Structure 1
Amino acid sequence: MIRILLFAELEEAIGQREIELTKTNEQLSVGAIRKILAADYPKLKGISRAMVAVNEEFAEDKQLVHEGDLVAFIPPVSGG
């Protein structure tokens, strides 16, 4: 299982902060997880622009994620 954390507008879009991803039979990259979430949760429109951290370290889409990892999606901050 991979734990997914969503913050700010992403959490608000689907009404939950944490998702458990059990599709871990194969190695998944951050980019693949991003695509899975976008397909499974169409309301996550901002997922493509979100920064990602794996186990509390910023990650790129090509980084592989393993069973037991924590992946956080953090949307860009806006303000004035």
Structure 2
Amino acid sequence: MFQVLLFAHLREQVGSEKLAIREKQLTVKEFKELMENQYKLPTQGVMIAINEKYATETDIIAEGDTVALIPPVSGG
């Protein structure tokens, strides 16, 4: 199991700031597919961080990790 932290509109869409994913291991690509299919979260343009380090689609999320979904930020 690993923990997922949600920010901005993603948090509002799910209705929670955290999710617990009961998988032992996923690639970031597989994780994005899970978020899109199970939680209906758009992941295009969303940065993924594993244990506070930005990740690529081939990086592995392992049991005990903390994953953050960071949506694009706009401002003025």
Same fold (TM over 0.5): yes
Q: In the alignment, what sits opposite 2:68?
A: 72
Unmatched runs of 5 consecutive residues or more in structure 2: none
- Quote the sequence identity (%): 39
1:33 equivalent to 2:39? Answer no
- CA distance in 2: counterparts of 1:69 and 1:53, whole angstroms: 10
Q: What root-mean-square deviation, in Å, do the aligned CA atoms of Structure 1 and Structure 2 show?
A: 1.0
Q: TM-score, normalised by structure 2?
A: 0.91
Runs of 4+ off more than 4 Å: none
User: For 2:61 and 2:23, how far apart are their aligned partners in 1?
Assistant: 12
- The answer for unaligned runs of 5 or more in structure 1 is none
- How many residues align? The count is 76
